[in-house]
Amino acid sequence: MQNAIQIQNVSFAYHSKQVLHDVTLDIPEREITAFIGPSGCGKSTLLRCINRINDRISGAHIVGGSIHVRGIDINRPDIDLQELRRQVGMVFQKYNPFAKSIYENVAFSLRVAGRNKRSELDEIVENALRGSALWDEVKDRLHSSAFGLSGGQQQRLCIARAIANQPQILLMDEPCAALDPLATLKVEELLVELKKKFTIVIVTHNMAQAARCSDRTAFMYLGKLIEYGPSMQIFESPKDPQTEAYVTGTFG
């Protein structure tokens, strides 16, 4: 299978504090890859390097190495960041719909791009809401406020908003952390559907979740990639003693 993302020897710092050290991993297309590890080990930083939203943080910079997304070096000076972030969508821990209707949340990025044709928007909004398994629950109240939805529905709306942009890759930073177990289960089922179309990279503290839904797992510790492989191997027969200690709950 082709690799969607190639991370090679990446080191990263906030001001003078280096938080990623020589991280190398290839992320295959249309699979779910989970980043796990104790708090502060660099999972979110690594995730945010993939669409360069770390650039928005003052003092955040890549120290060395390279990241290729579908063959393109994303740290090239001439890279179009808006286009990169269209191709590499993002869903955050705390669902963050805009203070707009359900419909306008999904249509937002298209309107920003100047696409206002009603029939086109209707089709994309419906497809995105179907793609995030929300359509049946909201089709009769598309023009009501997004804030009237439950937390789990708001998170699926944020997923619809991300996929309306037709990305190739979806980055998810603890997307279920603020959800109850039932809403979490729905999002997990959705992830398995979404990977038919998208490459998904997910940061999670929930090891049961990583074991249930991901194809590959990367275990990080103190800014280093300790072990990376098929999730079943990482959880059932880890090679590194630190991975074993973490997945068995001895530390972390």
- Establish if 40 lies at the interface with ligand ATP (CB under 6 A): yes
CA distance 109 to 119: 16
Distance in Å, CB of 176 to ligand ATP, minimum: 14
- Report the side by side order of strands in the sheet with 3-14: 17-28, 3-14, 60-69, 72-73
Query: Given the complex with ligand ATP, which of 125 and 234 has the nearer CB atom?
Result: 234
Give the helix ranges, DSSP H, for the chain.
43-49, 81-87, 102-112, 118-131, 135-138, 151-164, 181-194, 207-213, 231-236, 241-247
* Using rule CB under 6 A, residue 19 touches ligand ATP: yes
Strand pairing class (3-14; 60-69): antiparallel
Stretch that binds ligand ATP, among 23-31, 34-42, 135-143, 179-187 (CB under 6 A): 34-42
For helices 151-164 and 181-194, the axis angle rounded to 10 degrees is: 20
**Which C-beta is closer to ligand ATP: that of 183 or that of 218?**
218
Of 102 and 225, nearer to ligand ATP (C-beta) is 225
CB 182 → ligand ATP: shortest distance, Å? Answer: 24
Residue 117, token pair as written in the block: 């044709």
The interface mask with ligand ATP, positions 41-60, x = CB under 6 A, is: xxxxx-----------x---
For residue 131, state whether it binds ligand ATP (rule: CB under 6 A). Answer: no
Distance CA 66, CA 204 (A): 24
DSSP one-letter code for 140: T
Number of residues that bind ligand ATP (CB under 6 A): 11
Beta carbon of residue 19, minimum distance to ligand ATP (angstroms, whole number): 4
Binding site for ligand ATP (CB under 6 A): 14, 19, 37, 39-45, 57
